[in-house]
Amino acid sequence: MKVMKFGGTSVGRPERMKQVATLVTQQEEPVLVVLSALAGTTNSLVEIGNFLAAGKKQEAAQIIDQLEKHYHSFVEQLVSGKEARQDASQILEEHFGFLRIIQRISFSEALRRDILAQGELLSTKLFGVYCSENKLSHALLPALDFMILDEQDEPAVSVISTRLKALVEANADKKLLITQGYICRNSKGEVDNLKRGGSDYTASLVAAAAGASVCEIWTDIDGMHNNDPRVVEKTFPVEQLSFDEAAELAYFGAKILHPASIWPAQQFQVPVRLLNTMEPRAKGTLISSLPAAPGVKAVAAKDNIIAIRIKSSRMLLAYGFLRKIFEVFEKYRTPIDMITTSEVAVSLTIDTDQHLAAILEELSPFGHVEVDREQTIVSLVGFEITTTPAILSNLALAVKEIPVRMISYGGSPHNISLLVPATAKTKLLQQLNKEIFGLS
Ligand code: ADP
Ligand code: ASP
Ligand code: MG
């Protein structure tokens, strides 16, 4: 079995959804299709949740109306038969009916997550209607029945595997299985999600759980590019990446992959392919355990980083100081991305301000604490890059006139990370394109 995941733009228009059906039915192996919500839907659902949280019911109702209109015209172009149109209308009634009812009940965070789940429920069900109309034998596997989080809000891999395998077996006569990306249930049994962009994570988790031959991530670009194509003009697709390289790029901001989406495939040795729905013949990127060639493969940028500096003369010749600092971050379950130390100070970065106030308070007895917000981590990722001499000298050229706040070099031979103010990101990515990849 192979897993094929299609992102929002890949199903965002009726003709694209039809193309997805063609693609998945051309496969020799049975396919488990993971679908995102139609492009733009999750953003609208986020807005609806925000308006309801703020008690702005009219504003929420307005977005619900717009969204419903959009779905009605989508369905009109997707299916033409009477029965299919009726089925599709019923689906819209069910989900938009839900969105209307919740305007009348009191808001909660659990309700917000229920709202966010509507996009993937709609896209998969409508895709199912299209498949039925076109006599494509298929089964819908509800992600809420098998995609389960544990008490730490991490995917409960063995539960997912057992439940998914049972569902796949029960539908062994079907060559086409369809499920929702992104949505899941938490340990309390509530509807939850795998965070924005989480359908990639679903795909990797189900590919690992089902022992798939490959996990294909179909999107709107022909693979992982060497640099962020939203920021830099001339970029090119990278043909091959190791799991480690892809995991670092995803974690450090390459939006094409959800930050956590590589580890399940890596752990269960399922190769991942990044492919372009708009150009299915393009080679894309293969991510596998094949040995990587030395050199920088790509650079990525992670925004909204907060840098914290703790200065203390008590650090001088002391041991146990770093442990105490790390314990504060551990207590608030806040991961540290970058760290640099001098004899009297330590600088580190985090990517969330969720517990910042409490963290700062607990750090204050250790010394003078300074905070810089709106920073960006720019990472160079590849294989043995710190041991390839030309890279460091080219990097020196690329940081010309860039106010670098931190550098992390040597932690791994495969990654060099720089922390810069967000305002310097574009210039740095462009200069790296020139000095590291020879593109101007
Ligand atoms: P989907 O909706 O299919 O999940 P995303 O928008 O999440 O698609 O991811 C694809 C987008 O990621 C591309 O359109 C591109 O703009 C952006 N992107 C950022 N960095 C990279 C990169 N290094 N390589 C390819 N795409 C990237
Ligand atoms: N629909 C969700 C989002 O927009 C998940 C995804 O597309 O991967 O974030
Ligand atoms: Mg995505």
Predicted model pTM:
0.96
* Residue 268 falls inside a structural domain: no
pLDDT tens column, 243-261: 999 999 999 999 999 999 9
pLDDT tens column, 302-339: 999 999 999 987 766 678 889 999 999 999 999 999 99
Eight-state DSSP code of residue 155: B
Q: Which of 44, 42, 76 is nearest to 61 (CA)?
A: 44
User: At which of 184, 203, 220 does a domain end?
Assistant: 220
Q: Are residues 146 and 48 in the same domain?
A: yes
Asked whether 214 and 4 are in contact (CB, 8 A), the reply is: no
User: At which of 198, 220, 242 does a domain end?
Assistant: 220
The residue with greater pLDDT, 314 or 176, is 176
Eight-state DSSP code of residue 315: G
- The structure tokens 């956590």 sit at 260
Q: Residue 345 sits in a domain of what CATH number?
A: 3.30.2130.10
- The structure tokens 């709106």 sit at 374
* Residue 257 falls inside a structural domain: no
pLDDT tens column, 85-114: 999 999 999 999 999 999 888 999 999 999
- Residue range(s) defining the domain that contains residue 346: 298-435
Exposed e or buried b for every residue in 33-44, given b needs 16+ CB within 10 A?
A: bbbbbbbebbeb
**DSSP-derived secondary structure for 68-81:** HHHHHHHHHHH--S
Lowest mean pLDDT of 186-195, 202-211, 309-318, name the range: 309-318
* Residue 273 falls inside a structural domain: no
Residue 30 has pLDDT above 80, yes or no: yes
Residue 389 has pLDDT above 90, yes or no: no
Q: How many residues does the chain have?
A: 440
Would you state the structure tokens that stand for residue 17, as one six-digit string? 């959804």
Q: How would you write 110-151 as a 3-class SS string? A: HHHHHHHCHHHHHHHHHHHHHHHHCCCCCEEECHHHCCEECC
* Ligand 3 center to 8 CA (angstroms): 7
Q: Which of 359, 333, 337, 361 is nearest to 347 (CA)?
A: 337
Q: Are residues 24 and 172 in the same domain?
A: yes
Return the ligand number nearest the Cα of 303.
1
**Atom of ligand 2 at shortest range from CA of 194:** 5
State how many domains the chain has: 2
Query: In the predicted model, what is the mean pLDDT of residues 183-207?
Result: 98
* Residue 291 falls inside a structural domain: no
Distances 310 to 132, 226, 295, 305, 421 between C-alpha atoms, Å: 61, 35, 34, 16, 19
Whether ligand 2 lies within 6 angstroms of the CB of 12 is answered as: no
Residues lining ion ligand 3 (Cβ < 5 A) are 7, 197
Asked whether 176 and 124 are in contact (CB, 8 A), the reply is: no
Would you state the structure tokens that stand for residue 53, as one six-digit string? 């949280």
* Ligand 3 center to 248 CA (angstroms): 16
Enumerate residues 6+ apart whose C-beta is below 8 A from 377.
252, 253, 301, 302, 305, 337, 338, 349, 417, 418, 419
Q: Are residues 158 and 31 in the same domain?
A: yes
Give the three-class secondary structure for 228.
Answer: coil
The residues that bridge with 295 in the sheet, in sequence order, are: 383
Would you state the structure tokens that stand for residue 88, as one six-digit string? 């599709």
* Residue 319 falls inside a structural domain: yes
User: At which of 193, 220, 247 does a domain end?
Assistant: 220
* Residue 440 falls inside a structural domain: no
Whether ligand 2 lies within 6 angstroms of the CB of 42 is answered as: yes
Q: Which of 256, 278, 439 to mutate to test the pocket of ligand 1 (most atoms within 8 A of CB)?
A: 256
Return the ligand number nearest the Cα of 216.
1
pLDDT band of 388, cuts 50, 70, 90: confident
